[in-house]
């Protein structure tokens, strides 16, 4: 089976659900110099596209050890050269503003900061990707709560019930290959969906006053006849990869009102939390009051040795950490460099209300990993430290433990490295295995915090 086909369906599904977010580096400080030829940075591996639409493509690549940022190059068909397009901190980026049904080529290089300027390493292999056909509205189909318009000149089968619409590629379904492209589902209770595969895309306010989360879910395996087609068929592609355009046509029916993106953006969800934090920072609450209000006591500690304005030193950022479509709120210390950013407080949404998840401190620091997971780096003493890796759980305040890395020389001076998955007891491993497995989760990421001084 062609690996490209698997990538086009299975991997794309994950990105369509979780999104691909990357932080852009200001272009003013970037320079590609002759030093690039002698750079020790390797070329990013596994560079490929993981999502495409009629006007955008999402690129992804593996992290490079020692990289401070990454530069995307776009092929210019007029000059027949690759030119610098964008510099980012993360390992994925969505290129927008493209033409439909058009072939594009990209490359990626890791960057290292040297004397205040970025120096590029080797470029990746070429990423070739063609955008899909432009969406042209066709038939509108409905369930009792909402409707959606499907693309013209496509063959499909639609199944509906009281709260959902599911769309299938007709040829694939009738030939026994499933053909499932996506389902749109309405949930009155956010706890009724896991957030792992289903992703919120908006809210529906019913004519009876009820609120529904509108979610989408995709197939995670190949649903078309891969024995017949060497690449994803155009008809299936228009339904599956073109789903973002389809979802833009969702409307409420029978007096129901649909809001695309409703109840998802951090700026619409955490206003009261931000105002409360700004008040705490401005008034420099003591540690007791901070703990009582479920805030990190680190703010009081910072105020003791730094007499400046805390609202200029502490900031906030919105990130959808678990891919359920709804932003989490991260609060931490602002860093002017590309170094990993510490997180002091994390908030999420539960039953459509903001709730506090966890606080960090000086010897108990939280970071966001490149893959959106959260890691907690702690230190009990010179002999005991470690890192725990967590997922933020959809519609819950609990962190789900993925893995724990424990260094404990008091327990075993000669072999102090231990690993545990979930809540299992830590088991001894070699230093090499310890370091390799930790690196598999990725590195702590830089976060572009907005200072609290900008909160109105």
Residue pointed to by tokens 């430290």: 385
**Is residue 320 within 8 Å of 240, Cβ to Cβ?**
no
**Is residue 276 within 8 Å of 293, Cβ to Cβ?**
yes
Would you list the domain boundaries of the chain? 3-130, 137-260, 266-454
| Structure confidence at residue 363 (pLDDT) | 86
| Structure confidence at residue 345 (pLDDT) | 98
d(CA 19, CA 388) in angstroms, rounded, equals: 25
**Is residue 126 within 8 Å of 105, Cβ to Cβ?**
yes
CB atoms closer than 10 angstroms to residue 264: 22
d(CA 66, CA 197) in angstroms, rounded, equals: 33
3-state secondary structure of 103: strand
d(CA 393, CA 424) in angstroms, rounded, equals: 19
**Residue 168: enclosing H or E segment and its boundaries?**
strand 164-169
List all residues 6 or more positions away from 275 whose beta carbon is below 8 Å from its beta carbon.
455
3-state secondary structure of 75: strand
Domain 3-130 CATH assignment equals 2.60.40.10: yes
Residue pointed to by tokens 């591996």: 45
DSSP secondary structure letter of residue 43: P
3-state secondary structure of 286: coil
Which residues of the chain carry a pLDDT beneath 50?
Answer: 1-21, 25-34, 36-38
């Amino acid at each position: 089976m062609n690996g490209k086909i698997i990538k086009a369906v299975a991997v794309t599904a994950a990105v369509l659900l979780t999104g691909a977010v990357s932080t852009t580096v200001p272009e003013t400080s970037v320079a590609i110099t002759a030093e690039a030829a002698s750079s020790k940075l390797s070329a990013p591996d596994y560079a490929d596209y993981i999502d495409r639409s009629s006007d955008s493509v999402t690129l992804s690549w593996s992290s490079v050890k020692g990289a401070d940022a990454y530069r995307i190059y776009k092929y210019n068909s007029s000059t027949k050269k690759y030119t610098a397009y964008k510099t980012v901190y993360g390992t994925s980026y969505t290129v927008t503003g493209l033409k439909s049904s058009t072939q594009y080529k990209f490359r990626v290089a890791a960057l290292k900061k040297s004397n205040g300027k970025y120096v590029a390493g080797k470029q990746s292999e070429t990423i070739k990707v063609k955008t899909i056909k432009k969406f042209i509205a066709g038939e509108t189909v409905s369930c009792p709560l909402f409707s959606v318009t499907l693309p013209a000149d496509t063959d499909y089968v639609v199944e509906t019930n009281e709260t959902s619409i599911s769309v299938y590629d007709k040829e694939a379904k009738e030939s026994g290959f499933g053909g499932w492209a996506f389902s749109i589902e309405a949930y009155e209770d956010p706890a009724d969906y896991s957030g792992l595969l289903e992703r919120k895309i908006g809210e529906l306010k019913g004519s009876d006053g009820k609120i529904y989360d509108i979610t989408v879910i995709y197939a995670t395996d190949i649903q078309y006849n891969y024995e017949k087609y060497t690449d994803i068929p155009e008809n299936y592609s228009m339904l599956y990869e073109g789903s973002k355009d389809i979802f833009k046509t969702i409307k409420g029916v029978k007096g129901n009102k649909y809001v695309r993106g409703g109840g998802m953006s951090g700026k619409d969800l955490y206003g009261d939390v931000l105002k409360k934090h700004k008040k705490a920072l401005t008034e420099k609450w003591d540690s007791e009051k901070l703990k009582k209000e479920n805030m990190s006591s680190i703010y009081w500690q910072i105020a003791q040795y730094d007499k400046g304005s805390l609202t200029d030193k502490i900031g906030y950022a919105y990130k959808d950490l678990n891919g359920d479509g709804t932003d989490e709120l991260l609060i931490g210390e602002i860093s002017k460099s590309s170094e990993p950013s510490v997180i002091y407080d994390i908030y999420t949404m539960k039953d459509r209300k903001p709730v506090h998840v966890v606080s960090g401190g000086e010897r108990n620091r939280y970071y966001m990993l490149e893959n959106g997971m959260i890691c907690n780096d702690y230190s009990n003493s010179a002999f005991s430290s470690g890192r725990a890796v967590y997922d933020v759980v959809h519609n819950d305040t609990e962190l789900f433990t993925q893995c724990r890395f424990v260094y404990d020389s008091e327990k075993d001076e000669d072999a102090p490295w231990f690993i545990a998955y979930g809540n299992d007891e830590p088991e001894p491993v070699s230093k090499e295995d310890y370091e390799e497995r930790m690196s598999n989760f990725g590195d702590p990421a830089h976060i572009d915090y907005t200072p609290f001084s900008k909160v109105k």
